[in-house]
Protein backbone atom coordinates (compact mmCIF):
# COMPACT_ATOMS: atom_id res chain seq x y z
CA UNK A 1 0.00 0.00 0.00
CA UNK A 2 1.38 3.42 -0.92
CA UNK A 3 2.11 5.76 1.97
CA UNK A 4 1.34 9.26 0.77
CA UNK A 5 3.33 11.59 2.98
CA UNK A 6 1.93 14.93 4.03
CA UNK A 7 3.40 18.15 2.76
CA UNK A 8 3.31 21.69 4.08
CA UNK A 9 2.37 24.36 1.56
CA UNK A 10 2.59 28.15 1.96
CA UNK A 11 -0.83 29.56 1.09
CA UNK A 12 -0.78 33.18 2.31
CA UNK A 13 1.29 35.84 4.00
CA UNK A 14 0.42 36.79 7.57
CA UNK A 15 -1.79 39.91 7.37
CA UNK A 16 -3.00 39.08 3.87
CA UNK A 17 -6.36 37.74 5.02
CA UNK A 18 -8.38 40.12 7.20
CA UNK A 19 -10.40 38.90 10.21
CA UNK A 20 -13.67 37.38 8.97
CA UNK A 21 -12.33 37.07 5.43
CA UNK A 22 -10.97 34.15 3.42
CA UNK A 23 -8.64 33.29 0.59
CA UNK A 24 -9.35 30.40 -1.74
CA UNK A 25 -6.40 28.27 -2.83
CA UNK A 26 -6.02 25.15 -4.95
CA UNK A 27 -3.69 22.47 -3.61
CA UNK A 28 -3.29 19.13 -5.38
CA UNK A 29 -6.60 19.67 -7.16
CA UNK A 30 -8.44 20.44 -3.92
CA UNK A 31 -10.21 23.75 -3.40
CA UNK A 32 -9.41 24.93 0.14
CA UNK A 33 -10.55 28.05 1.98
CA UNK A 34 -8.07 29.77 4.30
CA UNK A 35 -9.99 31.80 6.90
CA UNK A 36 -8.84 34.31 9.48
CA UNK A 37 -10.97 33.57 12.54
CA UNK A 38 -10.28 36.42 14.96
CA UNK A 39 -6.55 36.22 14.27
CA UNK A 40 -6.29 32.43 13.99
CA UNK A 41 -5.93 30.94 10.54
CA UNK A 42 -7.91 27.81 9.67
CA UNK A 43 -8.04 25.75 6.46
CA UNK A 44 -11.25 24.10 5.25
CA UNK A 45 -11.95 21.86 2.24
CA UNK A 46 -14.46 23.65 0.01
CA UNK A 47 -16.99 20.80 0.21
CA UNK A 48 -20.01 20.78 2.50
CA UNK A 49 -20.56 17.41 4.22
CA UNK A 50 -24.34 17.76 3.70
CA UNK A 51 -24.73 17.78 -0.10
CA UNK A 52 -21.27 18.83 -1.32
CA UNK A 53 -21.86 22.57 -1.84
CA UNK A 54 -18.86 24.92 -2.17
CA UNK A 55 -19.21 25.73 1.52
CA UNK A 56 -16.30 28.19 1.63
CA UNK A 57 -18.38 30.65 -0.43
CA UNK A 58 -20.75 30.99 2.49
CA UNK A 59 -21.10 33.88 4.94
CA UNK A 60 -18.83 34.14 7.96
CA UNK A 61 -20.88 35.28 10.92
CA UNK A 62 -21.86 34.48 14.50
CA UNK A 63 -24.74 32.44 15.83
CA UNK A 64 -27.38 32.36 18.52
CA UNK A 65 -25.97 31.02 21.77
CA UNK A 66 -27.52 28.33 23.93
CA UNK A 67 -29.92 29.81 26.45
CA UNK A 68 -32.34 28.62 29.09
CA UNK A 69 -36.09 28.52 28.37
CA UNK A 70 -37.72 31.92 28.86
CA UNK A 71 -34.47 33.81 28.44
CA UNK A 72 -34.06 36.01 25.35
CA UNK A 73 -31.75 34.75 22.67
CA UNK A 74 -28.22 36.08 22.64
CA UNK A 75 -25.91 36.48 19.67
CA UNK A 76 -22.24 35.56 19.90
CA UNK A 77 -19.19 33.90 18.39
CA UNK A 78 -18.93 36.62 15.72
CA UNK A 79 -16.68 35.67 12.76
CA UNK A 80 -16.37 32.04 14.01
CA UNK A 81 -19.26 30.47 12.09
CA UNK A 82 -19.38 29.55 8.39
CA UNK A 83 -22.87 29.27 6.87
CA UNK A 84 -23.22 26.96 3.86
CA UNK A 85 -24.69 28.87 0.89
CA UNK A 86 -27.02 26.04 -0.18
CA UNK A 87 -29.07 25.06 2.89
CA UNK A 88 -27.70 27.26 5.64
CA UNK A 89 -25.99 24.69 7.82
CA UNK A 90 -23.71 26.40 10.31
CA UNK A 91 -20.16 25.18 10.99
CA UNK A 92 -17.69 26.08 13.71
CA UNK A 93 -14.67 27.23 11.69
CA UNK A 94 -12.23 26.41 14.50
CA UNK A 95 -13.27 22.75 14.81
CA UNK A 96 -15.13 22.06 11.56
CA UNK A 97 -18.10 20.74 13.52
CA UNK A 98 -21.65 21.36 12.29
CA UNK A 99 -23.64 23.14 15.01
CA UNK A 100 -26.76 20.99 14.54
CA UNK A 101 -25.45 17.70 13.14
CA UNK A 102 -22.65 15.18 13.72
CA UNK A 103 -21.05 15.79 10.34
CA UNK A 104 -18.09 18.11 10.09
CA UNK A 105 -16.01 20.05 7.62
CA UNK A 106 -12.69 18.60 6.47
CA UNK A 107 -10.01 20.79 8.02
CA UNK A 108 -6.23 20.90 7.65
CA UNK A 109 -3.53 21.75 10.20
CA UNK A 110 -2.25 25.32 9.86
CA UNK A 111 1.02 26.77 11.10
CA UNK A 112 2.61 30.20 10.79
CA UNK A 113 6.32 30.45 10.10
CA UNK A 114 8.45 33.40 9.08
CA UNK A 115 5.45 35.48 8.12
CA UNK A 116 3.81 32.77 6.05
CA UNK A 117 0.66 30.73 6.62
CA UNK A 118 1.27 27.06 5.84
CA UNK A 119 -1.21 24.21 5.59
CA UNK A 120 -0.50 20.49 5.89
CA UNK A 121 -2.14 18.40 3.18
S1 LIG B 1 -24.97 21.44 0.96
FE2 LIG B 1 -24.29 22.60 2.65
S3 LIG B 1 -26.02 22.74 3.92
FE4 LIG B 1 -26.67 21.55 2.26
Angle 24-27-30 from CA coordinates, rounded to 5°: 80
Buried b (16+ CB within 10 A) or exposed e, 55-74: bbbbebeebeeeeeeeeeee
Q: What lines the ligand 1 site, CB under 6 Å?
A: 48, 50-51, 53, 55, 84, 86-87, 89
What pLDDT is attached to residue 38? 95
Across the chain, what does the average pLDDT equal? 95
Atom of ligand 1 nearest to the CA of 89: 3
Q: What is the DSSP string of 58-106?
A: SEEEEEEPP--TTSPP-EEEEEEEEE-TTT--EEETTT-BBSSSS-B--
Assign a CATH topology to domain 8-120: Rieske Iron-sulfur Protein (2.102.10)
Domain range list for the chain:
8-120
- What SS3 state is found at 8? strand
Write the pLDDT tens digit of every residue in 56-115.
Answer: 999 999 999 988 899 999 999 999 999 999 999 999 999 999 999 999 999 999 999 999
Residue 42 has pLDDT above 70, yes or no: yes
Atom of ligand 1 nearest to the CA of 87: 3
Bridge partners (DSSP) listed for residue 32: 25, 45
Amino acid sequence: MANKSKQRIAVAMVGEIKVGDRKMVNVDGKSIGIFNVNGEHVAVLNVCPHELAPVCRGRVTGTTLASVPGESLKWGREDEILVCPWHGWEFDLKTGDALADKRRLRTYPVTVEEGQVLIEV
